[in-house]
Structure 1
Amino acid sequence: MKRRTVLLGTTVAVGGATGLAGSLWHQAFADPAQPGPSPYGDLLEADANGIRLPEGFTSRAIGESSKDVAGYTWHDAPDGGACFETEDGWIYVSNSEIENNEGGASAVRFTADGEIHSAYRILGGTERNCAGGATPWGTWLSCEETERGEVYETDPTGEKEAVVHPAMGRFQHEAAACDPDRKVVYLTEDESDGCFYRFTPDNWEDLSAGRLDVLTESDGTLAWEEVPDPLAEDEETRFQVSSAKKFDGGEGCWYTNGICYFTTKGSNTVWAFNAADDTIAVAYDDDEVDGDAPLHGVDNITGARSGDLFVAEDGGDMEINIITPDEVVAPFLRIEGHDESEICGPAFSPDGKRFYFSSQRGSGGSDSDGITYEVTGPFRDSA
């Protein structure tokens, strides 16, 4: 499925978060985004961190793998991340995609003026914590990208112990996106024949029990069907429902204003799932681009107050591209000299003035070479 829109046979549950304007969906419904001039202008020469940014923007490294950050050793292979507001600033949370039960997640706490206050571990002893998602009640869902990976709910402040939620399914988890209106969580699966899932908890804000559904397709019609065995005791979840719709390498997932955007790296596609209209369409696809496609290896995704999407590349040109509400896709930044890495964890501070991301393996190309960055500049509030 590329350009065409598919109607759902059942009402889908996703609702209103703040952030992105709904206009991007209506444009994506008409046509996938095409290359054009960025609203921020062209990229300048690389700065001291090797990052090419538009005029008016600056970068700083806030954490380097295996090195000290405010008395804490920053984790290796930083991956998915999110920001959380506090009474006196904010917290940036970052996963660690390390094997052998050495994964998990860490956090950097900032004061109101943007200074680093502290850093600490919020999850440990887990496997390949790739992406995840923030909840409306202020916790971070850290997802394991393993065959029987699980979802761990963590406390960004580090004050409460993490809790595992097997009811959300055991599979190659990638990202999660919460819908506070319909009270469900969407989940992506990083397999070449992966699925798109919906978890409906028995009680909102308590993810310990509930129903896991998978998106299905039959004769061109989409619907939701319950996964019989979310714990995958006898069979992997993606094979349990014969009509399950397959997606080639599910990656990032971002929900706002009735729309869930998710990416598939195998097809280099950004999908737009409209819960309000029960439809799904393509917001970006490199096969649908006229001329040279600027965005390759689509991976993590986040949104800005302006209605812009920011999509990170796994490989490609090591760029984060912007997709605007008027269907323009263009580079926002590029990291030079990190050819064996990938960009992970894009997230805005609560006030929308600072932007965070990581180069998972840095310029050295190993897990211990990861670097987490902050970008500041004139981010626009509206498109």
Structure 2
Amino acid sequence: MDKIMPSRRTFIKYGLIVAGMATIPVVAQYAKRYDIPGLSAKPDSNGLLLPPNATSRIIARSGYTVEKSDYIWHSAPDGGGVIGTDSGGWIYTSNSEMKNAGGGVGAIRFSKHGEIETAYSILSGSHRNCGGCFTPWGTWLSCEEINKGVTWECDPHGVKAAEAKPALGLFKHESIIFDPDSFILYLTEDKGDSGFYRYIPDSVKKGKADLNQGVLEIALVNNKGDVTWERITDPQAKQTPLRHQVKGNAKFNGGEGIVYRDGSIYFDTKGDDRVWEYKISSGKMSIFYDAADYEKPVLTGVDTIAVLKDHLLICEDDGDMQIVAISPQKEIKPILQLTGHDKSEITGLAFSPDKKRLYFNSQRGETGKSRDAVTYEVMGEFV
């Protein structure tokens, strides 16, 4: 994601809950003691502060072949997802945010016991692949974060060639999510005056939405939070950027992650450290979390979002390098922290089908360089 540098973040007011690769060698900073409620006082051998009884391992490092494969793990791993396999295992997909046709998507396949079976590419030659999501029919959508970026539909098994889906709009995509009931897609944009979009497919047949023919719309929001939608007449941005095509559209300060939870779409904006909720049935938009409401904000630097047991999980893009859970009652707690990676950001948050294994990346590793990224698996109970 493009960076907007926030003030130094504070995720927790301490003492109060508020509304097959070798492991990295233990280094000096890992001996430091931390005082974060619910997490270990000392980092494990991979530099992680974890909940009780949780364990971690490194499953991939950029520039090195993944265990039991000849696939060299990509640099700058970004958005990620997990889908189950017929054998009871699962596949973790991972976007690469490298520019100039250096992007793409890699995948790691696991057995039902969580063992790595192989790894491979499912898309190459694309540009700055950022967020994404799995479709209800089992393909992976990967979004390009460039001014006329396209969304790619990828086969997580790597059998079928990836296909561009320009009907979803050419713009600086951040991420995307499905409403599982209507098969309508919602999309975020990474600009300081971002639009908030939805795509309505022309048809849904045999559980599969048409991603080649449909209507792309942008949101308008009045001062009561009522949302209306206006059609984008030029989704290919031949004349005008999408966010400038409709007069009076709502403008969001740097769209980031997006998820569906219990009939609502949640997305966050990095420029103002807000989490937004769009209730689909009522068509209402509201602010679910706003760092400006706190004298000492409990959460800033909002970025990737995931859902676990009705909690929103939000990754930070620098600073404390935490993943933080927000309950429906807006109680906030960190579920892990990565130490020694101060020049990086956490990306690629996803869970195994049984929700016991969490996957994520340090996008720039300990050195702050995309080529030194590390991808982790953590086993445990998180919320």
Category of TM-score, reference length = shorter chain: 0.7 to 0.9
Measure the CA separation in 1 of the matches of 2:41 and 2:121.
36
Mark the CA change 1:56 to 1:367 in structure 2 (over 3 Å): closer, same or farther: same
CA drift at 1:218: 4.3
SS in 1 for 2:167: helix
SS in 1 for 2:202: strand
1:376 lines up with 2:376 in the alignment:
no
Out of 265, 288, 298, the residue aligned to residue 293 of structure 2 is 288
The residue number in structure 1 matching 2:166 is 166
Structure number with higher relative contact order (C-alpha < 8 Å, ≥ 6 residues apart): 1
1:226 counterpart residue number: 231
- Hey, what's the Cα distance between the residues in 1 that align with 2:111 and 2:37? 28
Amino acid at match of 2:276: W
Alpha-carbon distance between aligned partners in 2 of 1:115 and 1:175, rounded to the nearest angstrom: 29
Residue in structure 2 matched with residue 12 of structure 1 by the alignment: none
**TM-score where L is the length of structure 1:** 0.87
Q: Which residue of 1 aligns with 2:269?
A: 264
SS of equivalent to 1:299 = strand
- 1:161 match: secondary structure: coil
Percent identity of equivalent pairs: 46
Once the two structures are TM-superposed, the CA of residue 67 in structure 1 deviates from its matched residue by 0.5
Matches within 5 A, 1:1-383: 36-37=16-17, 41-69=38-66, 70-71=68-69, 72-88=71-87, 89-204=89-204, 205-218=209-222, 220=224, 221-289=226-294, 291-304=295-308, 306-380=309-383
| Structure 1 residue 325 displacement after superposition | 2.0
Tell whether the 8 Å contact from 1:338 to 1:364 is kept in structure 2 after alignment: yes
Structure (1/2) with the larger strand percentage:
1
Cα separation, 2, equivalents of 1:62 and 1:165: 31
Unpaired runs of 5+ residues, structure 1, are: 1-32
Q: How many residues align?
A: 346
Conserved? CA contact 1:40–1:54, under 8 Å: no
C-alpha distance in 2 between matches for 1:368 and 1:299: 21
Flag the 1:43–1:260 CA change in 2: closer, same or farther, 3 A: farther
Deviation, structure 1 residue 40: 8.1
1:343 & 1:232 partners in 2: Cα distance?
Answer: 31
TM-score by length of 2: 0.87
Q: Which amino acid aligns with 1:97?
A: E
Partner deviation per Cα, 1:299-335 (whole Å, 9 max, x = no partner): 110001x211110011131111110122111211111
Q: Identify the range of structure 1 (189-198 vs 219-228) with the bigger mean alpha-carbon deviation.
A: 219-228
**RMSD of equivalent CA atoms:** 1.8
Deviation at 1:378, TM superposition (A): 2.3
What is the identity, as a one-letter code, of the residue corresponding to 1:87?
D
Q: Is the 8 A contact 1:43 1:332 kept in 2?
A: no
Residue deviations 1:42-93 (CA, integer Å, cap 9, x gap) = 4431111111112111111111001110321100000000000002200000
Q: CA deviation at 1:102?
A: 1.0
